[in-house]
Amino acid sequence: MAFLSSRRRRARLASELDDQDLGRLLKSLVATTRTGTIATTELCVAQMSRLLEQDPGDWDRRTHRVDVLAGYLAGSHLPRSWATREPRSADALVLHAWTQLAQGRAQGRLEDPDAAIETCLRAAELAPEDPTPWVALLAVARLERREQSQIFGVWNEVLARDRWNREAYLSMLTYLSPKEAGSRVQVLDFVDSLRARMPANAPCAATELTAQVLQYHAILDRGGFEALVARNHWSQAMAAQALDRAAHTWGQPGFLRHARALADLNLLAYALMAADRRGEARAVFETVGGIVTAWPWQTGGDPVTEFDQARQKATVGR
């Protein structure tokens, strides 16, 4: 990934992270979502098509771009229009499926689950090597509370195409959690199994630390005395070891190269501050510059404000 200057920068939310081509496309889409004219629709479809055709076979980058575009375009006419115009375009179909998913997540349910599933399967048929239709289908199956055998069947389809797909591992982490269909034991088994075989700098490297942050949030959510001493979570062996592994490697220049490396570094900075390891957090803040991800900072309030306050605390060391 292209690391930013260590100079302090103004904090800002940037779903594209350091993907400059994606960032430029998002800016160009603003006019289309406002005007909705045929000419601008065609222009933006052409721009989206060009972007999604870049870097063929880089499934990590493709997953990131499709996910960000879908979140940005949720509620827009563009993805549906593109899929209607080009029903045999895998790019159009997968973006439409992910947009349906983004809307479904926001509403707590899919408006037309059968249509979303059909769109995923058509995209998968048109691009059999592409994992992104299956990643979307995995999320759809979870949202629809499908049987475990179906969830794991889709999960295996993703892994057959992209062994370390970040979005898929985080999706399964949530599925196996007590909040959805599993338990704390299942989460630990999943993380242990992954850590035993995963390259340390794989796109899904943040799965283990994500599990620990989610557990930390669960403690905070209980309120009362437990919430007051929630910081103790980071002194327990599993949490401390997960944080140590990330802190000792992720910040090294060139170590993390996947599309959402800056999101993982945001997670690391957050966890280090939660553990009161401010000196280590300071170096991570310098690496990420001012690029802020909504999660996990939003759990404490406005993400940019929370990020800025944490960065200031790390800088002054108190």
- pLDDT greater than 60 at residue 295: yes
> Which residue(s) pair with 291 in the sheet?
12
pTM of the predicted model as reported, rounded to 2 decimal places: 0.93
Whether pLDDT at 309 is above 60: yes
pLDDT for res 317: 62
Apex 135 CA angle, 245 and 206, nearest 5: 10
**pLDDT (0 to 100) of residue 5:** 41
Q: Check residue 13 and give its pLDDT.
A: 96
pLDDT at 316: 83
Predicted confidence at residue 230, as pLDDT, reads 93
- For residue 37, pLDDT over 60 is answered with no
The maximal CA–CA distance of the chain, rounded, in angstroms, is: 59
Q: Is 165 helix (H, G, I), strand (E, B) or coil?
A: coil
Separation between Cα atoms, residue 44 and residue 35, nearest integer Å? 12
**Could you give the residue ranges of the DSSP H alpha helices within the chain?**
20-35, 38-53, 59-73, 78-85, 90-107, 113-126, 132-143, 148-161, 166-175, 184-197, 207-222, 224-228, 237-249, 261-274, 278-288, 294-297, 303-316
* pLDDT, tens only, 204-260: 999 999 999 999 999 999 999 999 999 999 999 999 999 999 999 999 989 999 999
- Give 173-185 pLDDT, tens digit per residue: 999 999 999 999 9
Confidence label for 3 from pLDDT (cuts 50, 70 and 90): very low
pLDDT at 39: 53
Q: Which residue has the higher pLDDT, 34 or 260?
A: 260
Give residue 30's pLDDT band: very low, low, confident or very high (50, 70, 90). confident
User: How many Å apart are CA 244 and CA 233, to the nearest integer?
Assistant: 14
Task: Give residue 7's pLDDT.
Answer: 46
Please state, for a pLDDT cut of 70, what percent of the chain lies above it: 94
What mean pLDDT is predicted for residues 156-160?
A: 98
